Amino acid sequence: MCELLGMSANVPTDICFSFTGLMQRGGNTGPHRDGWGITFYEGKGFRTFKDPNPSCRSRIAELVQEYPIKSCAVISHIRQANRGGVSLENTHPFTRELWGRYWTFAHNGQLTGYESLDTGRLKPVGDTDSEIAFCWLLNQLEAQFPEPPTDWEAVFSFVAQSCDRLKQLGVYNMLLSDGEYVLTYCTNNLHWITRRAPFGQASLIDEDVTIDFQKETTPNDVVTVIATQPLTNDESWHKMPEGEFCVFHYGELTYSR
């Protein structure tokens, strides 16, 4: 099992608080020793930090915790390898271009029979079930919508159906983003919370850190955090039911099925 962390916000927001909690699960309070990665979007561009080493001992993870990179869309992952060796090319998130946008993907779970998924022109570089599923998903999308789409509801519906097909192969919890939308799919473990005014306090489960969001935000901020398990113990997280698909757009839940 791995842990996922995503964020969608209406103003560029740093994810230091949530990332600090997640990183502790990378070999300290959790068993996820086989690498970690995080992608921050900045407009249409992105920056990814990743490491096949445990996150709790990573110099690069330290930088990310201390350096408040602000973003409206973040995808992060810490890994406990099941399919594919421990290497940089097998470390999530994965990013590929489609329709002139960079799409970033992270997966939690384990699939069987994934080797036969047709990825078309998108060739996997590593050998994880996750990267193959991602390439298959984008290849399906490109076949269905060869040109950059304008009807995003149709795209979301199609992604949801494609996720249903991947779920038939095993456990498939997913985060996917193009920097504007954050798409989530749940097989068994995915939680989310939307924070907005009036903001309160929250305390991390994995480390002795409390934050007063009121001091860190403005009244119009809307920030959604999505995680495998709740990261705080004094807030109400929504548990996604099996087979649910959600889309967050600049912090707001904008589509679900």
Catalytic residue numbers, as ranges: 2
Tell me which stretch binds a second copy (CB under 8 A): 8-16, 94-102, 106-114, 226-234.
94-102
**Gap between the Cα atoms of 86 and 84, Å rounded:** 7
Looking at beta carbons only, is 97 or 212 nearer to a second copy?
A: 97
**Residues 211-230 contacting a second copy, CB under 8 A:** none
Query: Should residue 87 be labelled a site residue for a second copy when binding is judged by CB under 8 A?
Result: yes
Binding part of the chain for a second copy, among 74-82, 123-131, 166-174, 238-246 by CB under 8 A, reads 123-131
| Residue 39 to residue 43: CA distance in whole angstroms | 13
Determine the interface stretch with a second copy among 9-17, 21-29, 84-92, 192-200 (rule: CB under 8 A): 84-92
Rounded to a whole number of angstroms, the minimum distance from the CB of residue 177 to a second copy is 14
Among 55, 76, 90, 228, binds a second copy (CB under 8 A): 90
What secondary structure letter does DSSP report for 26? B
User: What is the C-alpha separation between 45 and 239, in angstroms, rounded?
Assistant: 31
Main-chain phi, psi angles of 9, to 5 degrees: -145, 155
What is the DSSP code string of 185-223?
E-SS--EEEEE-SSP-EEEBSSSS-EEEHHHH--TT--E
The CB-of-240 to a second copy minimum distance in angstroms stands at 30
- Alpha carbons 198 and 195: distance in angstroms, whole number: 9
Is residue 46 a contact point for a second copy (CB under 8 A)? yes
Q: Measured from the CB of residue 80, what is the shortest distance to a second copy in angstroms? A: 18
* Six token digits for residue 61: 């993870």
- The site for a second copy, by CB under 8 A, has a size of 35
Of 10-18, 121-129, 218-226, 231-239, the segment contacting a second copy by CB under 8 A is 121-129
One of 56, 122, 174, 246 touching a second copy (CB under 8 A):
122
Distance from the Cα of residue 87 to its chain's centroid: 19
CA dihedral 166, 171, 177, 178 (to 10 degrees): -30
| Token pair recorded at residue 64 | 């990310």
User: Does 91 contact a second copy by CB under 8 A?
Assistant: yes
Chain residues that interact with a second copy, rule: CB under 8 A = 42-52, 59-60, 63, 67, 87-91, 96-102, 121-126, 142, 148
